Structure 1
Amino acid sequence: MQNWQWRLLDSQNLAIDLDKKLTQELMFKRSFLRDRLPDQVSFSMDDAAAFQNFSDYLDSYSALSANEQFKIALHATALVRFGKLMLPQSWYFKFGSFGDERAWPKDHLFCSLNSGTSQADFLIIEQDERCSLCMLVDETFEVGGFKTMQRFEVTRVLNDRLQESQRHPILRDTSFTSQQWA
């Protein structure tokens, strides 16, 4: 990772040079990235830490191939470093069972979103107390019958739209059950 370089290709897509002869083109066009992006910049220590965190999480909770996990971790890291701020687009998605009274577990990066016509798994890239930036990890996702998202596309949603993903199920608190009182 010490020699990796982010750069913009002539196609205006972001890419990362992994060594002198190996470049991985990412799905993000310049228009999707922050303004005043340099044409080339080194992969930083913060990038390495984010990449390792995403890689470790995917290794633990994903049945995807190592190559797919690698690409997802690279795209997620690029979003952390270069992604433009987005406003929430929650109106496209059904409510989940999380919100003000029940917070999303911070150690769960896989979530599911339901548009009413389909449901798909996403990776939470960034999260605060109100919103989550989510990247699609499934191949496609139909949003409201008029748009189809492709893998690596992102959306920001209010946390009350997050739903449990079967890739990393959320354990239920069973400390108090009705049988204990019988």
Structure 2
Amino acid sequence: MWYYDPKHDSLMLDLGEEMVFRVSIPTKHLVTSAFEKTVFTVDDASVFQTFQESIAHLDLTLPRKAELALNAVAASRFHKPMMPKSWFFTNQQGGVEPENGDIVELETEFATAKFLIIENSGCASLCMLAEVEPLTLNVSKEMAFCDTIKVMNDRMKAFQAELPMNLALVG
């Protein structure tokens, strides 16, 4: 069950058996329906599974992967539309045309970081930081794990995971 907790000023997800997940999306970024009790639907479970599969190869602990996936489901369902803030990121030649659940890299003048695509709205996408270390955007602003930002797709480059190769030695 999704519900808003005024005591914690946060959207929560009751997972049953006295387990509650606190969503990281700031209250000011939530749509009005987030303030009403709603059921965690089959669609939510499907979106969760999609995000879980997308982030399986990331170098994160299992609890961090669960946190990222649950925050991504919440963002896909309850995040207000926002304007792109692409000026923090370096333009990439051609960019990419990401799909929901893709992992992309965005580069600032300080660092490069991986982001999970929550929603592509044509020429820009809502992205969630998929790195535990904070990402410095400029001298006075940084993003934390699971923070969201909308960015033009021409700022993104595809993330290439380094998958282990299982080789058999013959001879």
For residues 131 and 49 of structure 2, what CA distance do their matches in structure 1 show? 21
Structure 2 counterpart of 1:177: none
Whether the 8 Å CA contact 2:30–2:79 is kept in 1: the answer is yes
> Does 2:117 align with 1:120?
no
Residues 110-166 of structure 1: CA distance to partner in whole angstroms, max 9, x if unpaired? 111111122211111111330111100112100022201111111111100002334
Look at both structures and tell me which one has the larger radius of gyration over its CA atoms: 1
Distance in 2 of aligned mates of 1:43 and 1:117: 38
Q: How far, CA to CA, are the matches of 1:107 and 1:31 in structure 2?
A: 23
Contact 2:100 2:118 in 1 (8 A): no
CA distance in structure 2 between the aligned counterparts of 1:25 and 1:168, rounded to whole angstroms = 32
TM-score norm. by structure 1 comes to 0.80
Which range moved further: 117-126 or 158-167? Answer: 158-167
CA RMSD of aligned residues (A): 2.0
Correspondence for 1:165: 159
Between the aligned residues of both structures, percent identity stands at: 29
Are the aligned partners of 1:92 and 1:115 in contact in 2 as well (CA < 8 Å)?
yes
TM-score by length of 2: 0.85
Alignment gaps of 5+ in structure 1: 170-182
Q: 1 CA distance for matches of 2:35 and 2:63?
A: 28
Do structure 1's residue 156 and structure 2's residue 150 form an aligned pair?
A: yes
Task: State how far apart, in whole Å, the 2-side matches of 1:37 and 1:128 are.
Answer: 21
CA–CA distance in structure 1, aligned partners of residues 126 and 144 of structure 2: 16
2:104 is aligned with 1:111: yes
Equivalent AA in structure 2 for residue 40 of structure 1: K
Cα shift at 1:108:
6.9
Residues 1:75 and 2:71 are matched in the alignment: yes
1:8 to 4, 12, 15: 4
Check whether the contact 2:54–2:103 (CA below 8 A) recurs between aligned residues. Answer: no
Code of the residue aligned with 2:18 in structure 1: it is: K
- Contact 1:123–1:137, Cα closer than 8 Å, also in 2: yes
